[in-house]
Amino acid sequence: MSKRVLNVGLVGGGKGAFIVQPHQKAIHFDGTRRVTAAALFPDPKVALEEAANWPYPIKGYGSYDEMINDQKNLPADQKLDYILIVTPNHVHFDPAMKSIKARIPVFCEKPLCLNLTEANELVKAVRDNNVPFGVSHTYLGHWTSRLSRYIVRAGLLGEVRWVDSFYLQGWLATKLEAFRGRGNDDYRGSHDLEDVIAVVDGRQEIVSEVRDAPSDVRGYIASEMRRLLGTRQFLDALPGFLLPDSASQGRQPLLRERLNALAQSDG
Ligand SMILES: NC(=O)c1ccc[n+]([C@@H]2O[C@H](COP(=O)([O-])OP(=O)(O)OC[C@H]3O[C@@H](n4cnc5c(N)ncnc54)[C@H](O)[C@@H]3O)[C@@H](O)[C@H]2O)c1
């Protein structure tokens, strides 16, 4: 089996997109893979501009169709070994199906697609073409999910007749509350603050999202941000939440700007 570094192609990820960032870190973490090509945005012109301005050299494509179709023209060492799909939910099925049909392995963000019919089609295509395919349902491996499954399967809840679940949009508020409760004012060592800063730094939409949140959530986030920004130890700890290289440290003003905007998001 070849030992060469695997080539990864991104579908989505331009213009400050969110989940591409942790994926990129993971891809480049151990030297086994690297991002070499990308179709970063729905508008071809923007997609190419974003690729040209990417922090390291990649081959930009105006669309994922172009990226997938181009593979057959490339020498073996330049072909993509897999495609990473980090687009919004409604843009998972199409690039996934086209990659499978081109026999390019896929790692797709969750949810796999929008309905069971699409999911069944993808499963069939994967089997027919014998193409490796992964979905990043990371929480399925988490102990809380496994314990929940055990509780249900063991019948500890009795017969389950109704399941209701929701996504906690107040995540940021919950993290700030957690720091209050268990952070012991450890501004440098708190993983809750680390999470808060990682999201504020990595997600440019965070300010507008918080502004759209219910007023009590928005008010709580704003007042906690004001408290943090008024605390000397927090301001001193802030550079330590960014990587030490100069490009990352250069993001400090942007980060401070976002934190200030969050502190005013109840105004
Ligand atoms: N596994 C997890 O924990 C986790 C967490 C967050 C998001 N997600 C999933 O990741 C996906 C992306 O979420 P996000 O928060 O990064 O969204 P985002 O809106 O920040 O990023 C989506 C990106 O896709 C690009 N895009 C949209 N249509 C495109 C197209 N036709 N061609 C090329 N690029 C296109 C957008 O321009 C943007 O760059 C979603 O499906 C979401 O459910 C998973």
Can you list the domains of the chain with their CATH numbers? 6-138 (3.40.50.720), 171-263 (no CATH)
| CA of residue 50 to ligand 1 center, whole Å | 15
For 119, residues 6+ apart whose C-beta sits below 8 A from its C-beta are 112, 113
Best probe residue, ligand 1, of 19, 35, 113 (max atoms within 8 Å of C-beta): 19
| Shortest-distance atom of ligand 1 to CA 46 | 37
Q: Residues lining ligand 1, CB < 6 A?
A: 11-15, 17-20, 39-42, 64, 86-89, 91, 109-110, 136, 138
**pTM value surpassing 0.75:** no
Q: What's the CA angle centered on 187, arms 181 and 189, to 5 degrees?
A: 90
Which residue type is seen at 243? Answer: L
Query: Distance between alpha carbon 6 and the CA centroid of its chain, in Å?
Result: 21
Decide if pLDDT at 22 tops 60. Answer: yes
Ligand 1 centroid, distance to 175 Cα (angstroms) = 23
DSSP characters over 196-248: HHHHHHH-TTHHHHHHTS-HHHHHHHHHHHHHHHT-HHHHHHGGGGS-SSHHH
User: What is the CA(168)–ligand 1 centre distance, in A?
Assistant: 18
Could you give the CA distance from residue 254 to residue 80 in angstroms, rounded to a whole number?
34
* pLDDT single digits (tens) 201-257: 988 888 988 887 878 888 999 999 999 999 999 999 999 999 888 888 999 999 999
Q: Amino acid identity, residue 267? A: G
Query: What mean pLDDT do residues 147-176 have?
Result: 84
Residue at token pair 């181009």: 70
| Cα within 13 Å of Cα(161), Cβ side | 1
Confidence class for position 2, pLDDT limits 50, 70, 90: low
Backbone angles phi, psi at 140, to 5 degrees: -65, -25
Question: First and final CA of the chain: distance in angstroms?
Answer: 59
Substitution site in 87, 112, 171, 206 for ligand 1 pocket (most atoms within 8 Å of beta carbon):
87
Neighbouring residues of 236: CB distance < 8 A, sequence distance ≥ 6: 187
* Nearest-angstrom CA–CA distance, 116 and 35: 31
- Over residues 239-248, the pLDDT tens digits come to 999 988 888 8
CA nearest 169: which of 123, 216, 121, 234? 216
Spatial distance between the Cα atoms of 112 and 108, rounded to a whole number of angstroms: 7
pLDDT, position 167: 52
Helix (H) or strand (E) holding 134: strand 133-135
| Tokens standing for residue 211 | 């502004």
Kindly tell me if the per-residue pLDDT of 166 is higher than 70: no
- Mean pLDDT, to the nearest integer, of 144-168? 85
CA–centroid distance, residue 182 to ligand 1 (Å):
32
CA 41 to chain centre: 15
Between the CA of 229 and the centroid of ligand 1 the distance, in Å, is: 30
